[in-house]
């Protein structure tokens, strides 16, 4: 049995038909990037779909050729890990609207031969999931053992259980909510405004020219602040100064936290498209699982077992939002297990707090597999 | 098997739907699932216990009994179990009444704070009792409520709760003579 997944390649799947979006618009052709790890068993009962967060991609585990670091959830996916590739066939799917190999605003619009930019239609989490459903059909899997993800991934998981109840045996919803609060929308809006205020943004028509690097970088910095907790920031940076320990009395960066944010912002610009940031944050802000309906009656239609995980120091998607999901599931009589894992990492905990997640996910999947 | 578990198993009809409040590592629930073919779920406040529950193959909710009960609809369960957890809740009366709302029957297991051993420690030593069943010192006890079997019966009478069965034990023995003095644990099957 291999100890790691070896060199992984991202694959892509192009939908045979156009995708009709929630807005009524049609999008096509639609390509979705994905990766798989482990082997699908004979009766195709061991497939788990992994869904990523806002800035993630299909590369969840293993190494790409030339990678400096492995996939974003490599500590959770692999032989003997929480999502054990010796037992399960793992599919990690990207989202439409993104910029990591799936159709999004930076893709070429076949009608014009130019990148879509803002002519790309606004997509929703429902649309993302509808595209992923086509991928699962293409892989000839009729029922997923589990659909799992954190943050935006968790919202996609919830949408899967509602959109395709027959296909989801279990749902692992981590650090997510059924809808965004005004505060969550507000943080996203500041990020979007930063991008749109950048003169290089050019109403989204910047492809082939200078990208709105400053705007996207600021958007990412705001994101990072919300992903950490006060405590994790205090532990990591406190008031520590960069360089020689003296204040510089200017506006270059004195504090380590400033340097960290600038570095995170700058490096993000190298790997992410500003328009994708606009589209995906919008999709998240639009997300509202219950919509006009009551959450209990919406979740009553699901046919999954649920594992709902939250983290004590996550103030972006606080535990009470997970408890809202759990409460509605209990009222609708669904099988649900929930845990609030003690962690000081804030919202980032779903990526780094491996121990607790690795203790609860394997026995949960074991029970569901029976 | 612990005598208390055996008594609870005997209280419960096969194939029942069970909610265990303060389910610890889930061992009682997994026993009920295996031996009585029950379906069930638990509520537990301790994070480490949640991991053990999931290892034991049961579903469980991480939270406080005082608030979690509000999440269930009327008579959702055939039995609600409060085994040695009632003395640790903030609002025991509210919790029992809520348990009787969501469950058709309720099973309560309580430690008897007026066992002779405890009485003797108070009387002769002038100290708050520490016994095998009540192993905690006053400063680190999880127990918020101190009651006797007699107190519990009185409570049920006052609140129109029917005691369908009472079993009183000390260790692995059934105590039928003067249980309020000689029994260490009382187990009750209740209905309202």
| Nearest residue, CB atoms, B59 vs list A337, A340, A366 | A337
The pLDDT value given to residue B189: 98
Tell me how crowded residue B150 is: count the other CB atoms within 10 A of its CB.
14
Contact A360 B41 (CB under 8 A): no
Range with the poorest average pLDDT among A138-142, A216-220, B58-62, B129-133: B129-133
Q: Is A284 helix (H, G, I), strand (E, B) or coil?
A: helix
Which residues in A174-204 are b (16+ Cβ under 10 Å) and which e? bbbbbbbeeebbebbeebbebbeebeebeeb
Residue A2 pLDDT level (bands cut at 50, 70, 90): very low
How do residues B175-185 score in pLDDT, each as one tens digit?
Answer: 999 999 999 99
Give chain A's length.
370
In the numeric block, the tokens 């649309």 are attached to A127
Structure tokens at B132: 């095998």
Across A235-256, average pLDDT? 89
Question: Is B180 an interface residue toward A (CB < 8 Å)?
Answer: no
Query: Vertex B188, ends B187 and B192: CA angle to 5°?
Result: 165
Give me the residues of B, 19-58, that contact A with CB < 8 A: 41, 47, 50-51, 53-55, 57
Q: Which of B47, B57, B72 sits opposite A330 (nearest CB)?
A: B72
Binary contact (B57, A359; C-beta < 8 A): no
Q: Taking residues B110-136, report their average pLDDT.
A: 91
Q: CB–CB of B134/B117 below 8 Å?
A: no
Query: Testing the interface with A: which of B26, B38, B61 to mutate, by most A Cβ within 10 A?
Result: B61
Q: Do the Cβ atoms of B51 and A359 come within 8 Å? A: yes
Q: Which residues pair with A114 in a beta bridge?
A: A109
Per CB-CB distance under 8 Å, the chain B contacts of A341 are: 47
Tokens read off for A10: 């991202």
Give the list of residues 6+ apart from residue A238 with CB closer than 8 angstroms, or none. none
In which band, very low, low, confident or very high, does the pLDDT at B131 lie, cut at 50, 70 and 90? confident
| Confidence at residue A293, expressed as pLDDT on a 0 to 100 scale | 87
Residues of B in Cβ contact (< 8 Å) with A319: none
Q: What residues contact A348, with CB distance under 8 A and at least 6 apart?
A: A227, A228, A232
Domains defined along chain B, listed by start: 3-112+146-191 (3.40.50.150)
Band (A362; pLDDT cuts 50, 70, 90): very high
Q: Which CATH number fits domain A11-180+289-369: 3.90.79.10, 3.80.10.10, 3.40.50.1820, 3.40.50.280?
A: 3.40.50.1820
User: What backbone torsions phi and psi does residue A163 show, to the nearest 5 degrees?
Assistant: -75, -40
CATH of domain A184-282: 1.10.1740.110
Residues above pLDDT 90, as percent of chain B: 86
Q: How confident is the model at residue A3 (pLDDT cuts 50, 70, 90)?
A: very low
Give percent of chain A with pLDDT exceeding 90: 94
Partner-chain residue, chosen from B54, B61, B71, that has the shortest CB–CB distance to A363: B54
Total beta-carbon pairs less than 8 A apart between chain A and chain B = 49
Q: Are A162 and A306 in contact (CB under 8 A)?
A: no
**A291's tokens:** 């919509």
For the record, the structure tokens of B174 come out as 């059934």
pLDDT band at A1; cut points 50, 70, 90: very low
Inter-chain CB proximity B59 and A356 less than 8 Å:
no
* pLDDT confidence band for A4 (50 / 70 / 90): confident
**Which of A331, A366, A367 is closest, CB to CB, to B73?**
A331
Q: Is the pLDDT of residue A71 over 60?
A: yes
* Per-residue model confidence (pLDDT) at position A318: 98
Q: What residue in B sits closest to A339 (Cα-Cα)?
A: B62
Q: Determine whether the interchain pair A337/B55 forms a contact, defined as Cβ–Cβ distance below 8 Å.
A: no
CB atoms near residue A138 (< 10 Å): 14
Residue A117 pLDDT > 50 = yes
Which of residues B75 and B67 earns the better pLDDT score?
A: B75
> Are A330 and B71 a contacting pair at CB < 8 A?
yes
Q: In angstroms, how far is CA A141 from the centroid of its own chain? A: 22
Question: Can you name the residues that pair with A309 across neighbouring β-strands?
Answer: A174, A339
Contacts of A359 in chain B (CB under 8 A): 51, 54
What is the per-residue pLDDT for A37? 97
pLDDT score for A242: 86
If you average pLDDT over every residue of chain A, what do you get? 96
Residues of chain A positioned with their CB less than 8 A from the CB of B46: none
SS3 call for B136: coil
- Which chain A residues contact residue B72 at CB under 8 A? 330-331
Query: In this predicted model, what pLDDT tens digit does every residue of A77-105 receive, in sequence order?
Result: 999 999 999 999 999 999 999 999 999 99
The ranges assigned to domains in chain A are 11-180+289-369, 184-282
Q: What is the rounded average pLDDT of the residues B54-83? A: 94
Q: Which residues of A46-57 are buried (b: 16+ CB within 10 A; e: fewer)?
A: bbbbbbbbbbbb
Element (H, E) at A160: helix A152-163
Active site residues of A: 151, 314, 347
**Phi-psi domain of B126 (left: phi exceeds 0; alpha: psi -120 through 50; beta: other):** left
**What is the per-residue pLDDT for A226?**
97
By the 8 A CB rule, do B48 and B68 touch?
no
For A101-105, A357-361, B43-47, B86-90, which range has the lowest pLDDT when averaged over its residues?
B86-90
Chain B closest-CA separation from residue A305 CA (Å): 10
Cβ of A327 within 8 Å of Cβ of B59? The answer is: no
Helix, strand or coil for residue A177? Answer: coil
pLDDT-based confidence at A252, cuts 50/70/90? confident
Cβ–Cβ below 8 Å for B54 and A333: no
Q: What whole-number percentage of chain A has pLDDT above 70?
A: 99
CB contact under 8 A, B62 and A338: yes
**B150-155 CB contacts, 8 Å cutoff, 24+ apart:** B150/B114, B150/B180, B151/B114, B152/B108, B152/B110, B152/B186, B152/B188, B155/B93
Contact status, residue A327 vs residue A308, Cβ threshold 8 Å: no
Average of per-residue pLDDT across B61-82: 93
Residue B102 clears pLDDT 50, i.e. is over it: yes
């Amino acid at each position: 049995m291999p100890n790691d997944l070896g060199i992984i390649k991202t694959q892509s799947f192009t939908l045979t038909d156009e995708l009709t979006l929630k807005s009524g618009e049609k999008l096509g052709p639609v390509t979705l990037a994905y990766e798989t790890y482990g082997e699908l068993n004979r009766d195709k009962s061991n497939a788990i779909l992994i869904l990523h967060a806002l800035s993630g991609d299909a590369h969840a585990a293993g190494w790409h050729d030339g990678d400096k670091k492995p996939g974003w959830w490599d500590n959770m996916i692999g032989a003997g890990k929480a999502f054990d590739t010796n037992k399960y066939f793992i599919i990690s799917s990207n989202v439409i609207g993104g910029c990591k190999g799936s159709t999004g605003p930076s893709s070429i619009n076949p009608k014009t031969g130019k990148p879509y930019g803002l002519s790309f239609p606004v997509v929703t989490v429902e649309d993302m999931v509808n595209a992923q459903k086509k991928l699962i059909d293409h892989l000839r899997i009729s029922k997923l053992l589990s659909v799992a993800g954190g943050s935006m991934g968790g919202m996609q998981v919830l949408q899967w259980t509602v959109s395709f109840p027959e296909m989801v045996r279990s749902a692992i919803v981590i650090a997510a909510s059924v809808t965004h609060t005004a505060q969550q929308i507000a943080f996203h809006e500041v990020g979007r405004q930063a991008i749109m205020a950048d003169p290089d943004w050019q109403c989204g028509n910047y492809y082939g020219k200078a990208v709105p690097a400053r705007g996207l970088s600021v958007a990412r910095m705001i994101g990072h602040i919300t992903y950490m907790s006060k405590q994790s920031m205090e532990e990591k940076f406190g008031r520590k100064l960069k360089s020689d320990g003296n204040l510089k009395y200017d506006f270059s960066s004195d504090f380590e936290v400033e340097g960290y944010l600038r570095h995170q912002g700058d490096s993000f610009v190298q790997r992410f498209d500003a328009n994708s940031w606009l589209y995906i944050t919008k999709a998240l802000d639009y997300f509202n699982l219950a919509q006009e309906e009551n959450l209990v009656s919406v979740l009553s239609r699901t046919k999954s077992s649920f594992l709902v995980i939250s983290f004590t120091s996550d103030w972006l998607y606080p535990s009470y939002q997970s408890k809202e999901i759990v409460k509605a599931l209990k009222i609708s009589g669904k099988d649900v297990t929930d845990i609030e894992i003690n962690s000081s990492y804030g919202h980032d905990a779903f990526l780094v707090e491996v121990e607790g997640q690795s203790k609860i996910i394997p026995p949960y999947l074991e029970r569901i597999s029976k | 098997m612990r005598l208390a578990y055996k008594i609870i198993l005997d209280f419960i009809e096969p194939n029942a739907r069970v909610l265990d409040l303060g389910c610890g590592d889930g061992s009682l629930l997994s026993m009920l699932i295996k031996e009585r073919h029950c379906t069930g779920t638990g509520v537990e406040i301790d994070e480490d216990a949640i991991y053990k529950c999931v290892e034991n193959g049961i579903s469980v909710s991480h939270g406080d009994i005082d608030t979690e009960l509000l999440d269930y609809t009327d008579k959702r369960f055939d039995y609600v179990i409060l085994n040695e957890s009632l003395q640790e809740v903030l609002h025991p009366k509210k919790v029992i009444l809520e348990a009787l709302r969501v469950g058709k029957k309720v099973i309560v297991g309580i430690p008897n704070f007026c066992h002779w051993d405890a009485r003797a420690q108070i009387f002769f030593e002038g100290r708050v009792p520490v016994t095998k069943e009540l192993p905690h010192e006053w400063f680190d006890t999880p127990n918020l409520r101190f009651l006797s079997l007699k107190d519990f019966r009185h409570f049920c009478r006052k609140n129109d709760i029917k005691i369908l069965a009472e079993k009183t034990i000390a260790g692995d023995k059934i105590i039928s003579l003067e249980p309020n003095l000689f029994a260490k644990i009382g187990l009750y099957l209740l209905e309202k």
